[in-house]
Every structure is written in structure tokens, then in C-alpha cells.
Amino acid sequence: MLFAFGKLPIIDSLDLSDFPFKKVIFGITCANFLFERYVAYRQYKLLKSENKKVPKALEGHVDEEKFAKSDAYGLAKSKFEMVTSFTSLVVDLATLTMFSSIWNYSVSIGNCILSTIMRKPFVMSLNANNIAFFILSQTISTFLNLPVSYYQHFVLEEEFGFNKMTKSLFFMDSIKTLLLVNAIGSIPLYILGLVLKKCTENFVFYIWMFMIGLQITLFFLNDLVIQPLFYTFTPLNNKELEDKINALAKECGFPLSEIYMIDGSKRSSHSNAYFSGLPFMKKKIVIFDTLIEDSSIDEVVAVLGHEIGHWKMNHISQMLIISQVHLTTFLMLFDMVFKNAKMFADFNFIIDPLSKVPTASLPGSNYALVNDFPFLVGLLVFSQLVQPTNLLMNFGMNLFSRHNEYQADNYAAKLGKGEDLKKALIQLQITNLSTISVDKLFSMYHYSHPVLCERLEAIDKYTAEHEKKSG
């Protein structure tokens, strides 16, 4: 059978009856881990070297003490990441091994809870089973990650003066996050299950349309519900800064509607600023209180000039288009394999010989027969299978993102705010203790922004070229 997406015929299934899914996925997972460890080791080795000195572009701005503290912070994060990456590998491999068991217990617990509530035996639908599996998986993941997250905030970040969270706030945020993920994730999963079951002939198209709708919905939920649960948004109370931002927006034709300040300092001393709003809609600018405290008014305006540059050059729209192409490609590939019985059998699901439908044994019973494939398990397994393409995609997206950052910096410089932007970037580097010494491969793999020295040199070069053309 052929699936027509536009004019491109795509085979909707592949014969993978002999493909060793489990061995290949375990191998890919371990290979990905080793590659990331190699990249991390390069950065660790650079930070450990003793012959480093302040880059020429930062001389006069960053002294030896701040330079050493920045490297120390980077080294501490590198050591921490080495430990957490290994534990993540163990958890990932254990999860892959126990997929069928987690599925069994989630179904069993869900049926038990509903049977108790309804006071009669109850058997959940496949969609409900997938939701139960999702909730149980997220809950287990959250609790496993708590010690790691606790150490990160109250030991690592605390040591370098960044953590501002209380322990009660930390646990409250963890509970809020878990409840939000389960609540917001369950509804799309239910709809996704219906689409998979009802729209087999136009699977990719309908899922693609659903995902676009989901992304737009999550955007509004993030602004209206999610962010206000964690931060307090207040109108900007600095008249001079507000006037300069409005003047900048008017100069650039930026459709500004509101300016807010949020209490980022309640959780961290890191600084940031951003704008939100879908393409062709009014925008809201949000500034962290830490940025206002640590930077001058002109520096804050320069940072926002950079952000407006992203909007002016349609970077957000470009990223959305790329993400949709990536999503469509992923769905096409997923459609070829996600109902492959061999894939589920490799992960200890029992295949009914007549229907070829994956089943799984439950405690106290022979089988948990389902009327379709446990698609969420298939999705998670397939996500592991395509890790190499995600790795390459990561390099490509970082390259594209860095190109966009240079363009946004140049736009701010064109507005005459190059020097203020440089000062702001340097101040952000100092305030956040961002690593100054960065290995090239590590930067290419992990950084969506160019390193500071590269950005400063590019701003100087563009400013000089612009002044030469102007005069």
C-alpha cells in the first residue's frame, strides 16, 4: 500500500521480521553515550589544562579571578554531567528492558483504581492503557531524577551562588511539573490514539495536523497557565526603560503589546529576556528582574534589539518550518515500523499468533489482550532507534541557530547598539559564569549560540563595515 503525502508516495510499512530491534537499539544507545562522553571529555580536558589565559577579546573586561571562577564552574558542571550521564544510561537501558513490565503494571494499577472507583470489574481501553503507561513512566522518571536535580540546585548551583530556591519551593516546583506533564500530556495522547486507530489511510497528514494544533495550544497554555504557575509577572515599573523599549519597537516596526518583568531571582541569579507571540500576532516582551538589576538600561535595550532582530529576519518562522519538516519525516518513518510485531516481541511483548497483536502477561492473569498496538511503547522504542539521525540533526540545528544569532547581533549593531550589546553579553557571561574556555567540537554539539569571543569579534567586524559604508 502507498501513502500519498502531497505527490510523494511513501511505503507505509516495511518487512522487518528479521531485524534485531533490541540489539540494534541497545547498541545505538551505548554508541550515542560513548560519543557524548568523548565530546564531554574534550571539554573536561580543556578546562583542566593549566595554560589557559583570558582571551584577547575579553581583556579589560574579565580579570583572572573571574576567568578562573568561570572555568571552575564549567569544570564542576562537567564532572556532574559525567555522573548523571552514566546514571541516565543505566536508567535508559533498564527502561528498555522493562518496557513490558512497566506496561503491565500501569495497566494493572489503572484497572484496579477504576474498578475500585466504579465498584465493579473494569477493563481499560487501549487509549487508557497508553495514558496509564505514560503517567506511571513520568512519575517513576520524576522520582528517579529528584536526587540529581536536588544536588544540582542545592550543591552545585549553591556553591557558585546561583541557587535562590528554598527546599520547599524546589519540591513544590517538582510536584507542579509532574502534575502538569501528566495532565497536559494525557489529553494529546488520547487524541493521538484515536487518530492512529481511525485514520490509518492518512496517518501522517492527520498526525501532522494534530501536532500543529497541539503546538499552538501549548504555546497559549505556556503563556496563560504554565509560566504564571512558576513566576510572577508584573508590569515593568521602570519608566525610562519602558519608554526606550517602546521607542525601539516603533523604530523597528515590532508589534509590541505588553512589557513584563518576572521574578527570576526567586529561583536563580541567572539572567534572561525573551518575547513571545505567534507569527503575525502582537508580541509580549518578558524581562527577568536579574537582567534589570545587573545591566544598564541601554544594555537591556540592546539585548532586546538583538531579540527583535530574530523577529525581523523571520528566524522564528524558519525554525518552525524546519521543525515541521523534521516532524513529518519522523512520522513517515514511524509509520513504516511502529506496528511491526517483531519490534514488540524483542521487548518482551507476547505476540498473539492469530491477530499478530502485541500482548503482555500481567500479574495474576495469563494475558492482557489489547485490541491494537501499544503505540506509546512503539513511539519510545522508535525514538531510540533514530538517535543517530537526531544527533546529526542536532549539529545541523546548532549550526543554523548560530548563524541566526550572528544575524541578530548584526541587526542590533545596525541599530547603533553594538557597543551596548557587547557590554550586555560580557555582563551576562560574568553574571552567569558561562564557560569562556570551550572546545570546538563541544561547542558545535551543545551550543546553539556562538561562544562569547566569536560574537564580540563579529559585532566589531560588522560595526566597522557598517561605519565604512556609511561614511
pLDDT tens track for 376-386: 888 888 888 88
pTM: 0.81
Decide if 394 contacts 401 (C-beta within 8 A).
no
Distance of CA 213 to the CA centre of its chain: 19
CB of 309 closer than 8 Å to CB of 322: no
Mean pLDDT of all residues in 26-46: 93
| Residue 409 annotated as catalytic | yes
Of 468, 327, 456, nearest to 393 (Cα)? 327
In degrees, rounded to 5, the angle at the alpha carbon of residue 203 between the alpha carbons of residues 197 and 207 is 95
411-424 tens-digit pLDDT: 999 998 999 999 99
With vertex at residue 88, the alpha carbon angle to CA 87 and CA 94, rounded to the nearest 5 degrees, is 90
Higher pLDDT, 412 or 346: 412
Compute the distance between CA of residue 361 and CA of residue 352 in angstroms, rounded to an integer. Answer: 12
For the beta carbon of residue 337, count every other beta carbon within 10 angstroms: 19
Nearest residue to 108 via CA among 339, 284, 367, 371? 367
Show the cell assigned to 130. 497508553
- What's the rounded mean pLDDT across residues 153-178? 87
Q: What single DSSP character describes residue 436? A: S
Query: Does residue 405 have an active-site annotation?
Result: no
Query: Which amino acid, one-letter code, is at 262?
Result: I
Catalytic residue among 307, 346, 405, 420: 307
Q: Which of 157, 294, 299, 409 is an active site residue?
A: 409
Name the pLDDT band for 250 (thresholds 50, 70, 90): very high
